Amino acid sequence: MYRLLATTRPAIRNPAVLHRLLSTSVETMQESSIQSSKVLTLETMNPNVRKMEYAVRGAIPIRAEELRDQLKKEPGSLPFSKITPCNIGNPQQLNQKPLTFLRQVSALMEYTDLLAPENIDVTRKLFPEDAIERAKRNLSYVGNAAGAYTQSLGVQEIRENVARFIEQRDGFPADSNNICLTSG
């Protein structure tokens, strides 16, 4: 299990939760790190990661916009005809197929009428069974209220699933109470 002890931008907006997370003692973190030989700290982290910047508005994207404007005003003025921005993590711009399963589950969770008994036969023609089952299971975690506010750390059952995944992937115990799910 890896633990990141510092972050560049906290995504937690709830002051009580942020205080609880920040007030976790260094001793507690050190005790749990003794249990594992794979602990990510500022000292063990690659120094290039510490120096890294998230430059969505840096010199390269600004230059790319200038070149895009030039191509609009003067087509053929450059040895290429298109600018593809790769700084914002949008793989669909490079023709990568969207993550369909996640979108299917989200659609079913947002429009729960599709899961109603009177509609399920039609839904099964439009959505794969695994997406239907995942949407039903996820809705059971939130009382069929997708999009509503959850516990500050995120839905407990989903955090437990994340902890199980981390344990299987890394081979070390993961505690769902040490997992915080955020939207960004």
> What's the pLDDT at 14?
55
In angstroms, the CA 83 to CA 173 distance is 45
Can you give the pTM of this predicted structure?
A: 0.52
> What's the pLDDT at 145?
79
Tokens of 170: 């890394």
| Sign of the C-alpha dihedral computed for residues 150, 152, 158 and 160 taken in this order | negative
Please report, for residues 42, 159, 169, the alpha-carbon distance to residue 178 in angstroms, rounded to integers and kept in the order given. Answer: 19, 9, 17
In angstroms, the CA 19 to CA 14 distance is 9
In angstroms, the CA 134 to CA 5 distance is 33
In this prediction, residues 159-175 reach a mean pLDDT of 94
For 107-144, the pLDDT digits (tens) are 999 999 999 999 999 999 999 999 999 999 999 998 87
Contact 104, 126 (CB under 8 A): no
> What's the pLDDT at 5?
40
* Of 71 and 184, the one with more pLDDT: 71
Q: Which of the given ranges, 7-21, 23-37, 88-102, has the highest pLDDT on average?
A: 88-102
At residue 41, does pLDDT exceed 70? Answer: yes
